[in-house]
Structure 1
């Protein structure tokens, strides 16, 4: 990175964080600290909802997903628009009418205290882990860029976001996220323009021929991770639970000026999300095409780990792999150019054979990359060989001009800080309202004390997420790992709310034990998926199974359990 890159990066990130801290430094009322300003409009709400979801993982990992697997990941979001319509029609009016701080307060009103605590704990468990991942992702970037220790960078990023989130609460989150999203969109459009300028005119044809533009799979194969059906149904339940019951999102839209503002903000995301994700995946697919024409693309995109392997005791093995990869890449280029020539001549007889030869050459390159990953594991068993998260950052650092590199790194930081701030704000709010208040009531006439307690819990969750990122590693692609963690909890939590909304005869005792049983079922499927092949299906179905299990178990238990009063006096 050049001096100009550093000026762009540091100026953007420090400027936004400092501005948010300064503007919200006098936030001393609990309602404002936890919900934000009451005059917040739909544009701010919509941007804040998008920014909380679009972490650095989105802009770091999804291009790598597009590079590796093409556009198919977009099916994950097919259920999202319908989910947001349901949230606008059902969830949001109830939250606004009750004036709750958290979604789980509603569970307490509808059922009892233990069910409210269970819903809050499920949220805190999965969102606390995900908060660690959102720190880990940008730390990978700077570790690669600077060569600094990964753990040091995790601490630095964590401290920066904790400072302004603790200072200004929800008001600071909403304010800074507007500017952060501006940086994100500007940077990604710039990267796309630079990439397209470097590509030949027939790039989309190449990507399509090599299977990178297959966005929709209508098969009913349960073992396929992404299909139209898993995305529509599993994605619907995942999105419905995320936007309807996850406090990191609920907190973004319940504090607006009116019900209309929250609804418009959510519908803004219903229209935005699928095109945005498709754009980012296409960016990754085009990066794949770009490397087809480069003289010596990486065997393994985590260049730090690869270089250590080349310089280690197994040097001969990895040098030989590099040589084989280079030869296979040259052969791939020859087959690619031959196919392009045949295609340009419009020869329908020769074209299929030329295309098949190109696809075979690509498969040879992929096989060498897979072999390289096996050798890396043999040399260093603890290594994470999922290098797709490094694809886009490698392209940024090696191909973009000075200044633009700093802007794109700033994009990753802006996304990380925006998402992280929303998560910490929600974790602090849920702990303060749903757990702390259960034992220590809020001080009715002491707003300063209430805000101080909320700040302490927000800072504590910031420390937890930093510690999690320090001591855990992630073997999945980051975006997929995040969704898998969410799917282990989201379906059951959604089931709690659906029972609350639509099955008025079910009481707290039945739904509480039903949720626990459903969660045990989901974790059993997840842990046994490799031992029992029939259980090794797409994680998106966890959301459907968990939700229906919670509802069905609730109805069964309510039918057989005596209608005893809970400790809160609810039946």
Structure 2
């Protein structure tokens, strides 16, 4: 890190936090604190929704995901635009008519208190875990790359987030996320231009894309159907749709963003804006990872991207084994580099036979490189058992730290910090809102003053922030971080979505039946997660379907149709 990088990083973060505190200072009541006085315009809502979803994990893990697995992860988002339309048409008007603070208030109107409390608790569990990962994921990577203490890095991120979230509540989250989103996308676009400019002079942008395609990385759409395949068109358009419906329709971290809109129209436009831009944004971030991959076809990549973990092996008796593997890796890379240049020449000449021959050579040598990398990972695991051997989350940040010029390194680190802060702030605000409104105010202390609930909201924001920081400090490294967050969400979201779908559309099913059905559905999802190989996106479909099916069966067993006791949700 050079002085200019520190100036850019600290200046960006200081401005965002200061602006958030100043712009939203002096929330006087719970309405303003939890809903931002319903003053948000559609573009603020749209950017806030996108920034909440685009955590630091997105900018750290997604390019590495593309580096290893190509573009197919973008299919995960194919169901999202459809979900935005459905929520805009059906969900938003109901929430506005009821004038709710959280999504779960609606469930008591429709069913009963225990169903509302169950949905709220499921949300608190999964979002509380995710909040810890949201802080931990960038902290462990940034601490490794910058040489900082992990504890210090976690505290920096966590305390900055708590500072402006406690100060201004929901409005502070939405206001700061506009600046954070500008930093995030601006930084990634600059990084994309830089990596393309670093390609060899004789390799055009189009030829770089062709090389990526010939090496199997431009796999944007896959129409083959496989239950065990996490990313294809069918899992994205169905499982992704259900996950998006759950996340944007029932998760308070997102519902809270659009409940603060000036009107139904503003909230709808904000969500549709997100639906329009989310896939292109993810495509861009994945494509940057693809360009980093192509760059490393002409410039030797590390045999292991976590340089700190690799360097620790040199202090063990396995140092000579690692040096031998690195030497072999260099030899294979030099052969592959020649084969890639032959592939580029064949593409330029449009010689199909030469393209196929070079493509075979490149793919064979690529597999040889992968085998060596696996041997290195095994060696790292053997030499330092506590080390994390999954290094794809380090691909992009390693490239940034090694190749980007002064100033841009600081900007890209600001991108990662901003993303961590934006998503964490929304999560803490949602956790506090749900705890106060759905648990504390409803079931523990119903007669306190508005000022008391405002102070309680601030207290629970700090409490959940502290819990997230503690979880981040003691969490062990997971697999790919972007997948880890989505897996945790998928375990719980399907059940929550099932409860809401029954509430909105299946008037036959009532409180007792849906409560038992939700408990059974969650048990089914947990069984699928621990004892089957079903891809996690399908958990959203399975959980939702189980709630509906079990609900029908249980309601029939309990006595069939009777007039709904709670119908206020249809009268407002």
- Calculate the TM-score normalised by the size of structure 1: 0.96
- Say if 1:17 and 1:176, in contact at 8 Å, map to a contact too: yes
Query: SS where residue 248 of structure 1 aligns?
Result: helix
> Which consecutive residues of structure 1, in runs of 5 or more, have no partner in the other structure?
530-535
Partner of 2:556: 559
Partner of 1:60: 60
Q: d(CA) in 1 for partners of 2:384 and 2:155? A: 25
Deviation, structure 1 residue 563: 7.5
Partner of 1:493: 496
Q: d(CA) in 2 for partners of 1:408 and 1:266? A: 27
Deviation, structure 1 residue 442: 4.6
Deviation, structure 1 residue 378: 2.0
Per-residue CA deviations over 1:113-163 (Å, capped at 9, x if unaligned) read: 000000000100110111011101221342123211212211221111111
Partner of 1:269: 274
- Say if 2:528 and 2:534, in contact at 8 Å, map to a contact too: no
Query: SS where residue 180 of structure 1 aligns?
Result: helix
Query: SS where residue 383 of structure 1 aligns?
Result: coil
> Which consecutive residues of structure 2, in runs of 5 or more, have no partner in the other structure?
568-572
Q: 226-235 or 35-44: which moved more?
A: 35-44
Alignment of 1:355-434 (within 5 A): 355-434=359-438
Query: SS where residue 353 of structure 2 aligns?
Result: coil
Deviation, structure 1 residue 443: 4.8
Partner of 2:154: 154
Q: How many pairs align? A: 561
Partner of 2:97: 97
**Structure 1 residues 569 and 44, CA gap change in structure 2 (3 angstroms):** closer
Deviation, structure 1 residue 238: 0.4
**Does 2:301 correspond to 1:304?**
no
Q: 236-245 or 466-475: which moved more?
A: 466-475
Partner of 2:570: none
Q: 196-205 or 347-356: which moved more?
A: 347-356
- Say if 1:442 and 1:450, in contact at 8 Å, map to a contact too: no
Partner of 1:532: none
Deviation, structure 1 residue 562: 4.8
Deviation, structure 1 residue 49: 0.6
**Does 2:258 correspond to 1:253?**
yes
Q: 250-259 or 334-343: which moved more?
A: 334-343
Q: d(CA) in 2 for partners of 1:348 and 1:415? A: 44
Q: d(CA) in 2 for partners of 1:551 and 1:304? A: 50
Alignment of 1:453-532 (within 5 A): 453-529=456-532
**Structure 1 residues 32 and 206, CA gap change in structure 2 (3 angstroms):** same
- Say if 1:385 and 1:475, in contact at 8 Å, map to a contact too: no
Alignment of 1:120-269 (within 5 A): 120-199=120-199, 200-201=203-204, 202-269=207-274
Per-residue CA deviations over 1:277-327 (Å, capped at 9, x if unaligned) read: 001000001100101111x32011111101111232211111111111111
Deviation, structure 1 residue 223: 1.7
Per-residue CA deviations over 1:190-237 (Å, capped at 9, x if unaligned) read: 111111111231211111111111111110122211110000000000
**Structure 1 residues 440 and 347, CA gap change in structure 2 (3 angstroms):** closer
Q: d(CA) in 1 for partners of 2:523 and 2:447? A: 38
Q: d(CA) in 1 for partners of 2:434 and 2:196? A: 45
Q: d(CA) in 2 for partners of 1:350 and 1:138? A: 43
Q: d(CA) in 2 for partners of 1:389 and 1:15? A: 28
Q: d(CA) in 2 for partners of 1:443 and 1:160? A: 33
Q: d(CA) in 1 for partners of 2:566 and 2:536? A: 38
Alignment of 1:8-47 (within 5 A): 8-47=8-47
Q: d(CA) in 1 for partners of 2:134 and 2:349? A: 49
Q: d(CA) in 2 for partners of 1:245 and 1:344? A: 51
Deviation, structure 1 residue 474: 3.0
Partner of 2:442: 438
Q: d(CA) in 1 for partners of 2:408 and 2:378? A: 35
**Does 2:452 correspond to 1:449?**
yes
State the superposition RMSD in angstroms. 1.7
Q: d(CA) in 2 for partners of 1:418 and 1:411? A: 10
Q: d(CA) in 2 for partners of 1:213 and 1:274? A: 15
